[in-house]
Structure 1
Amino acid sequence: MLILQESTYVHPNRDILFSGLNLQINKNDKIALIGNNGSGKSTILKILAGDLIPSKGVLKAEVKPYYVPQIYGQYNNCTVAEALGIADKLNAFYEILEGRATESNLETLNDDWLIEERCKESLAIWGLDELDLMQKLQLLSGGQKTKIFLAGIHIHQPEMVLLDEPSNHLDDAGRLSLYNYLASTNHTLLLVSHDRTLLNLLNVVYELNKAGITVYGGNYDFYIEQKKIESEAHENDLKNKEKALRKAKEIQKESIERQQKLDARGKKKQEKAGLPTISMNTLKNNAEKSTSKIKGIHAEKVNEITKDLSQLRREALDVDKMKMGFEASRFHNGKILITAEQINFQYNSQLLWKNPLSFQFTAGERIAVKGLNGSGKTTFIKMILGLLVPQSGSIKITDFNAVYIDQDYSLIRDDFSVYEQAQSNNSGALLEHEIKIRLNRFLFTKEFWDKPCATLSGGERMRLMLCCLTIGTQAPDVIVLDEPTNNLDIQNIEILTAAVNEYGGLLLVVSHDEYFLNQIGVERFISLTGT
């Protein structure tokens, strides 16, 4: 159905993104394509969609795929109909209805007399019943834009669909509709996503890495099990190689010491035998050559094992290196930190929530805040942090130390270098080398220390934010995470999950990622219902 052969893609700055890549998609395949940020997943989708041309290689396509992109900014000046590629057909349809059945209009419509009806049906499926097809995309939210392109699947009725992070901006209702579509559709699919619930709905995982694409014949949970087996095998290889290195060094030492004893013994015998000086020098040179040869043989063996060991260590997972190391929170678990009674807020004389909110939050709890787009999650967070005062009801907040981490990690200052950002959080008077040790632990080697924060990826900003939290002298009493997994790849989500699971204070999470919420042990939910 679609084949990509020996493909290479080179960025305009001549950096090679991937080389010699092979990919085959057959009819009815449902494939999840995963890999670290920057590995080339979105580029592959754009090549398959025909939006990019590979620098080398061949693309063979029997069908034209329908493409749901991750970023929609390029469509902001387009109408909904233009973004979906149906503006000309709709215009021809309306022209014909008004009596202008020209040859051009009939050719453009191509007997698709149900185009308007299908548009209405498709938009209704995604909760966009009231949307005007002539409306500009720039006036819509990220979730609405995503739903428009998802609605395009039913409008165009393609044989194959390419989806790039389709759940990124969707609320719970939108995600449920997307999950239902993926579970029931007969379309051939290639999906790029970090949404683990979404990935589990597909029957094969393709992992994109430096070596190419590795195929795992099962869903995401199956892939994780296989990776665990690989990781355990890798760990055993590492231990065996370390053992082999120690043994090789011991043998090297013993062999050299034994040879040196033999040389010394031989020298004494030669001296007793009264051999001429020239003979003594010849024997001495032979002994030195023999010792040097033994040293060379063992050094080569040690170097070979050391090289293999270094490679294994480079391939080891980095998640275990990153430990938060927080001191205990100032408050014991169960200490009441926030009490709210019948609170609500108004915008333009309109109450935000249908029912006023009453709750208590205590130290050590893990709470998820959920609600549809526009339900007031940001307002809720600001009231919790004391940044907004409710316009009805009352809220009592204990004097606590809180950190609010939004999905853009805006606490990171773009005008700082990585080291300067870390240093700005140094409330414990750590020395320079101690800060750099912490940065290294979070994968910021010396090549990163002078790098501007503005150039960091989403995953790098997240890791730097976590690193900064470890540099402070005291763990925050409250951490608020706002859609923390939205812009992260799976590896960085695992890093975030491991870090959050070390934290012992009050954790408030705004997220639609059920898989993530389950992994961090959220047991309580606050649901916000608009009026």
Structure 2
Amino acid sequence: MRASLSVNDLSFSWPDGSTVLDGLDLGVGPGRHGLVGLNGSGKSTLLRLIAGELVPQRGSIGVDGTVAYLPQDPGADPDQTVSDVLGIADTLAALGRVEQGSTAIEDFDVIGDQWDIAERTEAELARLGLGHLGLGRPVSSVSGGELVLLSLVARLLTRPSVLLLDEPTNNLDTAARERLIDIVAAWRGTLLVVSHDRELLNAMDDIGSLRGGSVRWYGGGFDDYEAAVAVEQEAAARAVRAAEADLRAQRRDRIEAESVLATRRKQGEKAWAEKRMPKIAMGNYKRRAQVSAGKLRGVHEDRIEDANTRLIEAEELVHDDREIRVDLPNTVVPSGRNVLTLDGVRPAYGSIELDLEIRGPERIGLTGRNGTGKTSLLRTITGDQAPAAGSVRAHVPIRLLPQRMDLLDGSLTVAENVALIAPSTTENDRRAQLARFLIRGRAADQPASTLSGGERLRATLACLLLAEPAPQLLLLDEPTNNLDLPSIRHLVEALESYRGAFVVVSHDQRFLDDLGLTRRIEV
């Protein structure tokens, strides 16, 4: 099948010189294709390159037809309306003028072939459960999940032949995810999806794993991919064990050979000292022995080098399973201590009205439909928004991890960001704590603006937990957005190590199950 999307010898580096992609080749035809890989492997960068948002240093990109691209966090000006986000405001205005009798060429140019845009927009909004949103509604009043869906509708209205989606289930509640998956299942063009959402990835025809600068494809959805990788990893682990055993054996053989050579050398030295044979014959014997010993050593060195090469190659096939371990005694909350009291709190946006008492190191999951006001509630707890009703009493230091993870100053390095939030710590202490979050060496000196989703999460968590005063109540708003599965595991590890209380807003049921919550509250 002819590829409708092809990438050849694609290379891209950030201005600081860090290489993201180097000589990547990729080709996909019509169908639903999932793309997975570690955070920082270049998945989002690849989509931006295909969409034309970034320019490669080398290589070519070929697309058969038109491309539509939905980024991870589709932002919007708060002063815009729904029709502005959908990109149809000017077309609707021109249609209105024509209906009132306008014959201006400019109006017909704006409309083009979009005479049915109002009807198509209404149908797409209804299909994604957004029929209740008026076209004149301000974007500032819609939830993060609704904004993602509106941005998707805007792309669908362009009728693209190639659709690129980057973490499209971010901020979506269960019903919205199901509608999105229905749209994906019905897609008839070429679809390339970067996601960590297992249910969405299971709707794919195949899964591509971007690792080590190349993409390897696996047939079927994510469950099939995971099963295939598990078999490969088991074989890779066996290969490592075999290579290690071979290397040990080659080293033992070399030691034994050196022992034999040492014995021969002593015998030769003794014969020389006792003058058992003519001097010329003894000289020839010595030279032959030296040549033989050199060859033997060379053979064993070559075998050891070959064994070591096989071990390195085998180890490269084994995926990295490093773990986060956090030890921050100042975040400890004793059992029974008052942490937070909410009395009839109603946030400025949404329909929540909540009484809540948190004591000790409780772990609470907060779930609910998009637009109910969960994010607004978290901002009310931190004091960033005044409540529409009720009172908030915080008894311990609080920190919030927002949806967009925009707490870091992109112009500063990771280490410099930590220094801002924890000025009394030493450079060595800061770097030691960053290492616990798997940010080591050069990574700590990397500008925050160049971090991937998983790297940004770990750096932001490090800043939050190392802040002064140390937070004893952590609020997390959709923290798994933009994260690959290993990064979600790292987040779970960090929260397992955290010894304070936390409230997490999430639509990711598997993530919530892994956290070992003490309570779940649905609003």
Q: Tell me the TM-score normalised to structure 1 length.
A: 0.77
Q: How does 1:501-516 map to 2 (within 5 A)?
A: 501-503=496-498, 505-516=500-511
Q: Which residue of 2 aligns with 1:498?
A: 493
CA RMSD of aligned residues (A): 4.6
Please say if residues 66 and 153 of structure 1, whose CA atoms lie closer than 8 Å, have aligned partners that are also in contact.
yes
The 3 A distance-change label for structure 1 pair 391 and 198 is same
Q: Which residue of 2 aligns with 1:215?
A: 217
Q: Which residue of 2 aligns with 1:168?
A: 170
Please say if residues 347 and 377 of structure 2, whose CA atoms lie closer than 8 Å, have aligned partners that are also in contact.
no
Q: Secondary structure at the match of 2:118?
A: helix
Q: Which residue of 1 aligns with 2:455?
A: 460
Equivalent position to 1:367, from 339, 364, 384: 364
What residue identity is the alignment partner of 1:494? R
Q: How does 1:81-480 map to 2 (within 5 A)?
A: 84=86, 86=88, 90=92, 93-100=95-102, 109=111, 113-125=115-127, 126-127=129-130, 129-132=132-135, 143-152=145-154, 155-158=157-160, 160-171=162-173, 174-186=176-188, 188-277=190-279, 279-324=281-326, 335=336, 337-338=338-339, 340=341, 342-345=343-346, 347=348, 356-363=353-360, 365-371=362-368, 375-378=372-375, 380-381=377-378, 404-407=400-403, 417-419=413-415, 432=428, 439-440=434-435, 442-453=437-448, 455-464=450-459, 478-480=473-475
Q: Secondary structure at the match of 2:483?
A: coil
What residue identity is the alignment partner of 1:268? K
Q: Which residue of 2 aligns with 1:19?
A: 23
Residues in 2 aligned to 1:78 and 1:112: alpha-carbon distance in whole angstroms: 22
Deviation at 1:256, TM superposition (A): 0.7
Q: Which residue of 2 aligns with 1:56?
A: 59
Deviation at 1:419, TM superposition (A): 4.8
Residues in 2 aligned to 1:353 and 1:107: alpha-carbon distance in whole angstroms: 40
Residues in 2 aligned to 1:424 and 1:94: alpha-carbon distance in whole angstroms: 53
Residues in 2 aligned to 1:459 and 1:403: alpha-carbon distance in whole angstroms: 19
Please say if residues 23 and 213 of structure 1, whose CA atoms lie closer than 8 Å, have aligned partners that are also in contact.
no
Identity over aligned pairs, percent: 29
The 3 A distance-change label for structure 1 pair 94 and 363 is same
Please say if residues 76 and 85 of structure 2, whose CA atoms lie closer than 8 Å, have aligned partners that are also in contact.
no
What residue identity is the alignment partner of 1:132? L
Please say if residues 7 and 58 of structure 1, whose CA atoms lie closer than 8 Å, have aligned partners that are also in contact.
no
Q: Secondary structure at the match of 1:148?
A: helix
Please say if residues 120 and 129 of structure 1, whose CA atoms lie closer than 8 Å, have aligned partners that are also in contact.
no
Deviation at 1:2, TM superposition (A): 0.7
Please say if residues 342 and 356 of structure 1, whose CA atoms lie closer than 8 Å, have aligned partners that are also in contact.
no
The range that moved more, 101-110 or 509-518, is 101-110
Residues in 2 aligned to 1:200 and 1:3: alpha-carbon distance in whole angstroms: 22
Deviations 1:37-87 (A, max 9, x none): 4444345445555667764346251x4344334454598998866765656
Deviation at 1:261, TM superposition (A): 0.9
Residues in 2 aligned to 1:527 and 1:48: alpha-carbon distance in whole angstroms: 40
Residues in 1 aligned to 2:398 and 2:221: alpha-carbon distance in whole angstroms: 38
Residues in 2 aligned to 1:160 and 1:108: alpha-carbon distance in whole angstroms: 24
Residues in 2 aligned to 1:459 and 1:267: alpha-carbon distance in whole angstroms: 65
Q: Which residue of 2 aligns with 1:517?
A: 512
Q: Secondary structure at the match of 2:355?
A: strand
The range that moved more, 419-428 or 315-324, is 419-428
Please say if residues 385 and 402 of structure 1, whose CA atoms lie closer than 8 Å, have aligned partners that are also in contact.
yes
Residues in 2 aligned to 1:10 and 1:381: alpha-carbon distance in whole angstroms: 39
Q: Secondary structure at the match of 2:23?
A: strand
Please say if residues 325 and 470 of structure 1, whose CA atoms lie closer than 8 Å, have aligned partners that are also in contact.
no
Deviation at 1:483, TM superposition (A): 2.2
Residues in 1 aligned to 2:388 and 2:52: alpha-carbon distance in whole angstroms: 53
Residues in 1 aligned to 2:98 and 2:423: alpha-carbon distance in whole angstroms: 72
The 3 A distance-change label for structure 1 pair 239 and 428 is farther
Please say if residues 418 and 453 of structure 1, whose CA atoms lie closer than 8 Å, have aligned partners that are also in contact.
yes
What residue identity is the alignment partner of 1:118? R
The 3 A distance-change label for structure 1 pair 373 and 158 is same
Deviation at 1:148, TM superposition (A): 2.6
Note the residue ranges of structure 2 that are not aligned, 5 or more in a row: none
Q: Tell me the TM-score normalised to structure 2 length.
A: 0.78
Residues in 1 aligned to 2:14 and 2:445: alpha-carbon distance in whole angstroms: 24
Residues in 2 aligned to 1:427 and 1:108: alpha-carbon distance in whole angstroms: 55
The 3 A distance-change label for structure 1 pair 6 and 168 is same
Deviations 1:449-502 (A, max 9, x none): 444556544422333455678989x99754432321224334322322333345
The range that moved more, 221-230 or 38-47, is 38-47
The range that moved more, 76-85 or 195-204, is 76-85
Deviations 1:297-317 (A, max 9, x none): 222222332233344445543
Please say if residues 245 and 306 of structure 1, whose CA atoms lie closer than 8 Å, have aligned partners that are also in contact.
yes
The 3 A distance-change label for structure 1 pair 387 and 71 is closer
Please say if residues 49 and 55 of structure 2, whose CA atoms lie closer than 8 Å, have aligned partners that are also in contact.
yes
Equivalent position to 1:30, from 29, 32, 39: 32
Please say if residues 344 and 353 of structure 1, whose CA atoms lie closer than 8 Å, have aligned partners that are also in contact.
no
The count of residues paired between Structure 1 and Structure 2 equals 517
